[in-house]
Structure 1
Amino acid sequence: MPVFQIHHITQYQYDRPVKESVSQIRIFPLATPAQHIRQFELLITSDPVVATYADYFGNTVGDFTVLHPHQSLTIDSRLTVETIEKKTATPEDDITIADLRKHIDTDISMLRLSDPERIAAQESINDIVQSITNPVQHVRHMAWACSEYIFRHFKYEKGITSVETTIDEILQHKSGVCQDFAHVLLQMLRSLGIPARYVSGYICPNKSGMRGEGATHAWVEFYTPGDGWVGIDPTNNVWVNGYHVVLATGRDFNDCSPVKGTFKGIARQTLSVFVSVGYEDGHVFEEVNEVKLETVSSDEVEPWQNDWMQAQQQQQ
């Protein structure tokens, strides 16, 4: 049973002071039969009160506000987690699409997760799934065929997409990162009528060379009555088994975003994300990502921002 020590730092920097930062976080690891949380610690700038609750999908969500002026906001989480590897990572349920529909036709939550997004390129998605699957295949074989198609036909490339990138755009340039591939796989599976959900978390295979190793990661889970929710990672074309740590699940990235929020003030903001994964053999994998953000540009400065900056200069 692998044990991982994960350190995750999200840091916002502002070129001018901002105030009343209201943030929502989904960085609390899920306790599941496949992962046991040994320790979890959360540190946030100014030590605000974090109100937690469970959302529609069962994720733990935290809301907090930093009221006073500040030029940086750091969210620092430290996790020790033990995962359980299955004897076989391959799902065993031999159910077909026709069988699956009998199980989910009266389940509203499953039907919702079987409904594909409305996109311009839906016909292209239909052509792809029809060319690589057939109606009498087992659901697990369909899911694998879709994942394999993405792995072979899409290039893993950082910096060309963002969290706002649409499925249509991903299909056009056939490149992206884990969250993009997860969104495409969701669209393919749902177009086949298979309930599927987005998963955010970390991938921790020690020095394996997997794409996304030691960083925040995204993959997909699809549902069958016999196996329940089965994880498949299209970025690496592998079944999820022991090396993926789950933070949140939902329909898409928006339901699982680790951090999102807003603030008062006119400022340019930058975001950096640091993740390190420590392994039982002492090896540590670290990665830092500079995340693209929409910037706010203005020559106008609110009076309270000038006052705060002047006060800070006088203290130096």
Structure 2
Amino acid sequence: MPVFKIHHITRYEYDRQVRESINEIKIFPYRCDEQETRSQQVTVSTNPDIEYFTDYWGNLTGVFNVLPLHADLVIESRLVVSTQDNPARQMPYNTGFTELQKDKQHNIRLIELSQSDAIQNQAAIEAICAAITQNTNSIAGIAEKCAAYIFHHFAYTKGITNIETTVDEILAHKGGVCQDFAHLMLQILNTLHIPARYVSGYICPNKSGLRGAGATHAWVDVYVPGYGWAGIDPTNNIWVSNNHIKLAVGRHFNDCSPIRGTFKGPAKQKLSVYVSVGYEDGHIFEEINNVKMEVSPANPKVEVTDHTIAGQQQQ
């Protein structure tokens, strides 16, 4: 049972003071059998009251409002979490679309998570679907082939996409990062009417050198009849292991963005994210991402304007 100490700092800096910064945070470990929160301390600069609730997808969510004028906003999480594999749960490779249809009949959530989005290049998705379903009816087998297809046909390349990159653009780039690969896999599985959901979390580095390790990460949960929700990571072409820590789930990234919000003020903002992962042996892995997003008012004469806080792309 590995134990990880995760220190996650999100810092927004503004070139002039802003006010009424209303934020929503989803940086709390998802409640499931594969992980246990040992402790967590969340602090926000100026110490506003944080209200907590569980959202539609079952994610613990915090909301707060920083009313006074401020030139920066820092959100810090110190988390100790343990993870474990469940060897008693063996992945079934003998359940397919017949069993899936029975499970979906009266489950609105599974039906909802089986719907694909409308995109321009759906023909490319259909071609991938044909390739990964050839000679197999197994839902688990199709999920594996889907992750392998993305891993081998799309390059892991930072800097060519952002948080608003569409599936059409990912297909055109033939590359991206974990957030892009998760969205692509969702479109493929949903086209086959297989329930799947986006997962936001961390992936802790190990000796095998996983892509995206040490940073906020994204993968996919696929519903496998006879098993339930199973995590699969197309960025690394693996089923999720006890190195993955799940924070939130949803239809897309927007449903489980670690931090999102708005503020008032004609300011430009800069975002930096620091993540460190500490191990039981004392080893620490650190990563810093600087994300610049300049926002200026449409009308420079307007004194106060609403702006959305910049979000970090999951790597």
Residue aligning to 1:128: 128
Residues 148-197 of structure 1, C-alpha deviations (whole Å, 9 max, x = no match): 00000111111111111111001101111100000000111111111000
- Structure 1 position 225, deviation (Å): 2.9
Residue aligning to 1:119: 119
- Structure 1 position 131, deviation (Å): 1.7
Q: Which of structures 1 and 2 has the bigger CA Rg?
A: 1
For residues 259 and 11 of structure 1, do their structure 2 counterparts lie closer, same or farther at Cα, with a shift above 3 Å needed? same
Letter in 2 for 1:175: G
Q: What SS does the corresponding residue of 1:287 show, helix, strand or coil?
A: strand
Q: Residues 1-316 of structure 1 correspond to what in structure 2 (within 5 A)?
A: 1-87=1-87, 91-134=91-134, 136-296=136-296, 300=300
For residues 20 and 30 of structure 1, do their structure 2 counterparts lie closer, same or farther at Cα, with a shift above 3 Å needed? same
- Structure 1 position 99, deviation (Å): 2.3
Letter in 1 for 2:169: E
Q: What SS does the corresponding residue of 1:68 show, helix, strand or coil?
A: coil
- Structure 1 position 31, deviation (Å): 2.6
Q: What SS does the corresponding residue of 1:190 show, helix, strand or coil?
A: helix
Q: What SS does the corresponding residue of 1:13 show, helix, strand or coil?
A: strand
- Structure 1 position 208, deviation (Å): 2.9
Which consecutive unaligned segments of at least 5 residues does structure 2 have?
A: 305-315
Residue aligning to 1:311: none
- Structure 1 position 205, deviation (Å): 3.3
Q: For the residues of structure 2 that align with 1:102 and 1:213, how far apart are their CA atoms?
A: 37
Report if aligned partners of 1:23, 1:262 keep a CA contact under 8 Å in 2: yes
Q: For the residues of structure 1 that align with 2:301 and 2:281, how far apart are their CA atoms?
A: 52
- Structure 1 position 122, deviation (Å): 1.1
Residue aligning to 1:313: none
For residues 69 and 192 of structure 1, do their structure 2 counterparts lie closer, same or farther at Cα, with a shift above 3 Å needed? same
Report if aligned partners of 1:203, 1:243 keep a CA contact under 8 Å in 2: yes
Q: For the residues of structure 2 that align with 1:175 and 1:56, how far apart are their CA atoms?
A: 31
Report if aligned partners of 1:89, 1:240 keep a CA contact under 8 Å in 2: no
Residues 64-116 of structure 1, C-alpha deviations (whole Å, 9 max, x = no match): 00011111000000100010123389722521123211220221110110001
Q: What SS does the corresponding residue of 2:117 show, helix, strand or coil?
A: coil
- Structure 1 position 281, deviation (Å): 1.6
Q: For the residues of structure 2 that align with 1:270 and 1:84, how far apart are their CA atoms?
A: 37
Q: For the residues of structure 2 that align with 1:209 and 1:90, how far apart are their CA atoms?
A: 26
Q: What SS does the corresponding residue of 2:129 show, helix, strand or coil?
A: helix
Deviating more after overlay: 157-166 vs 130-139: 130-139
For residues 298 and 138 of structure 1, do their structure 2 counterparts lie closer, same or farther at Cα, with a shift above 3 Å needed? closer
Normalising by structure 2, report the TM-score: 0.92
- Structure 1 position 246, deviation (Å): 0.7
For residues 299 and 204 of structure 1, do their structure 2 counterparts lie closer, same or farther at Cα, with a shift above 3 Å needed? same
Q: What SS does the corresponding residue of 1:43 show, helix, strand or coil?
A: strand
Report if aligned partners of 1:27, 1:247 keep a CA contact under 8 Å in 2: yes
Q: For the residues of structure 2 that align with 1:135 and 1:54, how far apart are their CA atoms?
A: 41
Q: For the residues of structure 2 that align with 1:135 and 1:116, how far apart are their CA atoms?
A: 23
Letter in 2 for 1:41: Q
Q: For the residues of structure 2 that align with 1:88 and 1:153, how far apart are their CA atoms?
A: 33
Letter in 1 for 2:59: N
Report if aligned partners of 1:2, 1:242 keep a CA contact under 8 Å in 2: yes
Q: For the residues of structure 1 that align with 2:284 and 2:183, how far apart are their CA atoms?
A: 29
Residue aligning to 1:312: none
Deviating more after overlay: 179-188 vs 155-164: 155-164
Q: For the residues of structure 1 that align with 2:268 and 2:79, how far apart are their CA atoms?
A: 31
Which consecutive unaligned segments of at least 5 residues does structure 1 have?
A: 305-316
Letter in 2 for 1:191: T
